[in-house]
Chains A and B, each alone.
Chain A
Amino acid sequence: MPGPLSPVMMIATAGLLPSGASDPQIGASLDVSANLVTVLTDYNDLPVIQQFTDILTAAGGNVITANTLATLQTVAANTIPALSNAIPEDYWSDLSAVAPGNIFQQYDMANVFVGGFSGLITNMAENIMGGGDLTRFSQIYSSSQGYAGQANQFINSNQNVDTISSTFGPQNGGMDSVITGGFNQVTEAFGAFGGDLQKLGQLINLRSLDSLGSPAALVKQVIDLGGLIPTVTNLLRQAGLDSGQISSLAAGSLGGITDSANKLLYEGMTRVTGDALQQICAILGVTLPVGRTSARNPTADPASTFNTINTMADLLNPVKIFPNSFATLTMPTPDGLRAIYATPSGAVNTNLEKYLSTSTATVKPINADLINRTRQDSEVAGITSTGFAAALSRLTS
């Protein structure tokens, strides 16, 4: 078993354990602050305080009644209590342990003066330090530290909730968004969606979600995971890419791919079937059922079903790759979450086009960057819920 404690820790801890052992260090680690003792002594030694202490000491010998002695200890409590070592009157109720009328019981004084306000400080300090028993102090310290640690979690969380408030609202599903990390905005059918995702391996690069659906992005993902296999190289060449563009794509750049080349890529993908498709699915880790068509027998497999991947292009079709959950997918809009598919049969909800297309005149697209920041960054304190709603509102005008 490791011995992770250093020598000084072992000496220090021995000094926390009960005293009485032959080693004078045992029980000697900690004590009331030496400076505290000094300043209290200095105060008690002031002539006016020493004189009043003498009065209290003399009065405590049954010369006056307990009530009068208690009253004597409140001299100047509401003017200058420091001139009689009194507890300030404003604190009598808060410091219930030392309130007048209760003072004898609390201190078990039996008419013996124990030191007034400075005595209270001494008593508190010595009690905290365990009264000479540092195992008691250990319990007090641990309890205090434990309480502080627990309470502070709630105190800080209560303040941090302002950050959550800045993005909280019906547009993103309220508390569901909080407890699901925003996944509720994708779907509420987590089991079905998760099950579909489990069959996709690494088909989707989560770092380039802007390019979701792009043939070039899919090719890039295949290259990243499996390199430039012949099937992919042929696809790229058939799409008209030259060696430089292919190298650029392999190096991670999608910028060099024109829309027309990208379309050619897609068309090429519709012809990738059979073994080549199996190979690509294997590279991506996709475990969806793959149709048994091939280049020699391009006829669609009659056994193919709704969710069978028949061509590489099917890997870009959400209906195909999310067969059990596509109908539950949603998108956040200024009006709240809206279905991506209008029907369970896979007809897309064309109402969403107004949020995504810049060519739609009536409604500007949601500022994706704004929405993205509200979820991706923790530093959203500057965006209030009102501001967020207003921003969304403006985007629809």
Chain B
Amino acid sequence: MSEYDRLKKVIPPDQALANQALGRSLRQVKKITDSKLPAIANALAAMESNTNLGLVNALESPLPQSVSDFWANTFATGTGAGNTITIDDGVGIAAGVNINDQMPAVIGNIQVLADGNQLISLTANAADPMSANNGIYTQMQYCLGNAYGPAPVIPATLYFAGGSFANIDAAFSAGNGLIAAANTAIASINSTNADTAGNINAAWDTMAAQIQQNQDTLAAAGIDIGNVVLGDWANSNISSNQQSEALSLGTRLHAIGLDVEEGGAAQFFEAVANLSSVAGQSVIASLREARNIQLFNASGLAIDTQLSDVNANATVANNLGDAQYTSTQARANIIV
């Protein structure tokens, strides 16, 4: 038996029906059970609806697919959860994100190639410009050093067919020149050492993708960092000596310390803190301090790193009269 079926035996049926219908309607209101009637009454008095907004009322889904796609495709380009933008997506290169772990892989695999004599087509140096054992990089060096003359006559080697060229530039740029030869030699290394080359390229691409991520994110943030030449900030919208931003950043160090997610602010600042200076070490100390304060606050304790308000007494208006009775005065006022 429903509440209504019971209630209509208790009060007039029409009132029972109206009450139960109203109760059902009110239960659709989110969090209504956590509220109080007077609070709801005040809120409702000012609440607005989509009256006269026919197109909004006609929506069949809360967000049209085209709008959802726009947000997803235009902004959801980060590496965070749900493609959100992380600190590392904007400035991670400076912290070595996707570089510090990938570059050692590149180095290690190039070393594998070198140890296996797979790079001699490039680097072999017989200490004689005319030797047939020289690699192509080595011949490039000899050529630039004028060892083959201003109109280079480059000898054939195990890795290069050689040839006569009108000038040094032609020796490099010609279709049968040194650059083409280097490309051919490295293509051969690539095919002969597919796994090792694949490892190198995967790491290299990851680093390139990180650069692109930073460049694109900063551009979206209004900073054209990709086009900034060191020392030339004209196109970056960034000016020197903006102390307010530095002060603002300093006051946010505690908030930064609490952002401990992967790719978050704490991780970034830990990486770029200059440990050779007390200022840099203080950055890390501030981050740790924030986390300690959070822990202490959660446990009802306190930490002694917040400066007391030393000027508090000085700011009290001393000409105000006493506004509280002393214990003696209070006792004297009581009629026994």
Contacts and interface: CB of A to CB of B under 8 A. Distances in A.
A72 B181 CA distance: 11
B23 A212 contact: yes
Contact of A48 (B48, B61, B119): B119
B28 A172 contact: yes
Contacts of A300: none
A131 B225 CA distance: 11
Given A88-B208, A368-B27, A198 B75 contact: no
Interface in B49-103: 49-51, 56-63, 68, 71-72, 75-76, 78, 80, 82-87, 89-91, 93-96, 99-100, 103
A80 B186 contact: yes
A32 B272 CA distance: 5
5 pairs of A and B residues whose beta carbons are closest in the complex: A15-B279, A213-B19, A13-B250, A194-B44, A144-B90
Given A121-B99, A211-B3, A259 B9 contact: yes
A63 B141 CA distance: 12
B43 interface: yes
A29 to B, nearest CB: 4
Contact of B141 (A2, A54, A64, A340): A54
In this complex, the interface size class of chain B, counting residues with CB under 8 Å from chain A, is 35 or more
A140 interface: yes
Contacts of A266: 10-11
26 contacts: A9-B289, A15-B278, A29-B282, A40-B99, A43-B106, A79-B189, A91-B209, A121-B93, A127-B236, A128-B214, A129-B94, A138-B242, A145-B87, A158-B71, A165-B61, A183-B44, A190-B49, A206-B36, A214-B7, A263-B11, A313-B11, A348-B15, A348-B17, A350-B17, A356-B3, A357-B4
Mostly helix, strand, loop or mixed at chain A's interface? helix
Interface in B119-150: 119, 122-123, 137-138, 140-141, 144-145
B20 A213 contact: yes
A161 B28 contact: no
B313 interface: no
Given A15-B277, A35-B96, A209 B84 contact: no
B37 interface: yes
B291 to A, nearest CB: 13
B100 A29 contact: no
A12 B3 contact: no
Contacts of B187: 76, 79
A257 B100 CA distance: 73
B308 interface: yes
Query: Which of B26, B76, B110, B190 gathers the greatest number of chain A CB atoms within 10 Å?
Result: B26
A371 interface: yes
B22 A186 contact: yes
A75 B180 CA distance: 8
Given A33-B100, A87-B208, A194-B42, 19 more contacts: A1-B311, A46-B107, A46-B114, A51-B123, A51-B137, A51-B141, A55-B144, A59-B172, A72-B179, A80-B201, A91-B208, A117-B207, A125-B93, A144-B87, A145-B90, A147-B90, A148-B221, A156-B84, A356-B2
A353 interface: yes
Contacts of A4: 306-307
Interface string B265-307: 1000101111111111011011001000000000000000111
A83 B310 contact: no
Nearest to B53: A175
Interface string A157-195: 111010011001000101111111111111110110111
Contact of A138 (B141, B173, B249, B271): B249
A362 interface: no
A24 interface: yes
Contacts of A94: 212
Interface stretch (A240-248, A303-311, A324-332): A324-332
B246 interface: yes
A387 to B, nearest CB: 15
B280 A197 contact: no
Contacts of B71: 154-155, 157-158
Contacts of A168: 61-62
Contacts of A319: 15, 18
A276 to B, nearest CB: 19
A120 B212 CA distance: 11
B240 A135 contact: yes
A12 B82 contact: no
B226 interface: yes
Contacts of A228: none
Interface stretch (B156-164, B227-235, B324-332): B227-235
Interface string B178-202: 0100110011011000000100110
A11 B274 CA distance: 13
Nearest to A138: B245
Given A75-B183, A154-B71, A365-B2, A80 B20 contact: no
Contacts of B151: none
Contacts of B208: 87-88, 90-91, 95, 117
B322 interface: no
Given A353-B17, A356-B17, A365-B2, A42 B84 contact: no
Contacts of A183: 29, 44, 47
A144 B226 contact: no
Contacts of B220: 147, 151
Given A30-B274, A145-B265, A155 B83 contact: yes
A213 B278 CA distance: 70
Contacts of B238: 130, 136, 139-140
A178 B53 CA distance: 14
B40 to A, nearest CB: 6
A340 B208 CA distance: 65
A172 B96 CA distance: 52
Contact of B91 (A144, A259, A318): A144
A84 interface: yes
